[in-house]
Amino acid sequence: MDFWIVQTLNGISFGMLLFLLAAGLSLVFGLMRIVNLAHGSFYLLGAYIGFTVIGRTGSFLLAVVVVPLGIAGLGLLMHRFLLRRFQGAELSQVLLTFGALFIFADVSLWYWGGYSQVLPKPAFLAGSLTIGTIVFPAYRIFVIVTGVVVALLSWLVLERTALGSMVRAGVDDEEMVRGLGINTPRLFTAVFALGAFLAALSGVIGGPFVGAYPGADFDVLLLALVVVIIGGLGSIGGAFVGSLLVGLIDTLGRALVPELAMFTIFAPMAIILALRPRGLFGRI
């Protein structure tokens, strides 16, 4: 029984990490119809730069704050100078983000080498919690809490602020929003940078248990894509439910049938695609 509880908690914490990744991907996709294949690169750069920042300064909190802000700046530049002029040209944008994926991957390999790096856990989260007979790492609880807080914050921003209503309206009908006099190109750039921020945050936070290694950008990109397809494009609620589902299925699947590790998450996705092409909560 304990095994199942621990695995379920592991699945939830992995799901929350996926939520940080997938929320941005889903919004970027829903709002500006960009399949951002470089989204996983923001995770990888976040994890690697976080590794270096923690190594130099010893401060986990500094890395959690500074690194995502830096990557958000990178995302801002990428959208402003590369993607914005191709708005509506979906294929061009896909190829541009794929080129960016290669460039970021190779630069990371160049600078950080081919070794797998695991970020050190901060001292105050190094221990574990014991409830009855169950022992669970404190760090994983921290990841769950962060995921829930980010989910609540993004829900509040989307539902209760002017910016949020612009984004939601943009997902439903971008042309009408533009017609109302809202500067959608600037809105797009802001959302793209926010997505990069969240992905880099997941890189720093996920670094201590998923790690940073060549190819991690690809792995997390695929997981985030599955989440977005299951949850529905452009929906934060869908990304949350999809992340939990994928986190649980992946963790339990790996524990039960390790040989079908990748298949266990792709099969449910294919079934959902067949039944609901727009995903569970897809609005568009």
Residues forming contacts to other proteins in the complex (CB under 8 A) are 29, 33-35, 37, 82, 86, 90-92, 94-96, 98-107, 109-110, 218, 222, 225-226, 228-229, 233, 259-263, 265-267, 269-270, 273-274, 277
* CB-based contacts of 257, cutoff 8 Å, min separation 6: 264
Q: Is the backbone of residue 113 left (phi > 0), alpha (psi -120 to 50) or beta?
A: left
In this complex, which beta carbon is closest to other proteins, that of residue 205 or of residue 212? 212
Shortest approach of other proteins to residue 120 CB, angstroms? Answer: 29
Q: What is the DSSP string of 23-86?
A: HHHHHHHHHH----TTHHHHHHHHHHHHHHHHHHH--HHHHHHHHHHHHHHHHHHHIIIIIGGG
Comparison of 147 and 282: residue with beta carbon closer to other proteins: 282
> Residue 120 has what DSSP assignment?
P
> In the bound complex, what is the minimum distance in angstroms from residue 140's beta carbon to other proteins?
25
Smallest gap from residue 225 Cβ to other proteins (A):
6
Greatest alpha-carbon pair distance for the chain in Å reads: 60
| Residue 165 to residue 44: CA distance in whole angstroms | 31
Query: C-beta of 168: minimal distance to other proteins in Å?
Result: 19
**Shorter beta-carbon distance to other proteins: residue 29 or 112:** 29
What's the closest the beta carbon of residue 111 comes to other proteins, in angstroms?
12
Nearer of residues 122 and 279 to other proteins, judged by Cβ: 279
**In the complex with other proteins, which residue's Cβ is closer, 63 or 228?**
228
Compute how many other C-beta atoms are within 10 angstroms of the C-beta atom of residue 186: 11
Query: Closer CB to other proteins, residue 181 or residue 277?
Result: 277
Residue 89 CA neighbour count, 13 Å, CB half: 10
Q: Within a 10 A sphere around the Cβ of 136, how many other Cβ atoms?
A: 17
Q: How far is the CB of 96 from other proteins (least distance, A)?
A: 5
Q: How many residues does the chain have?
A: 284
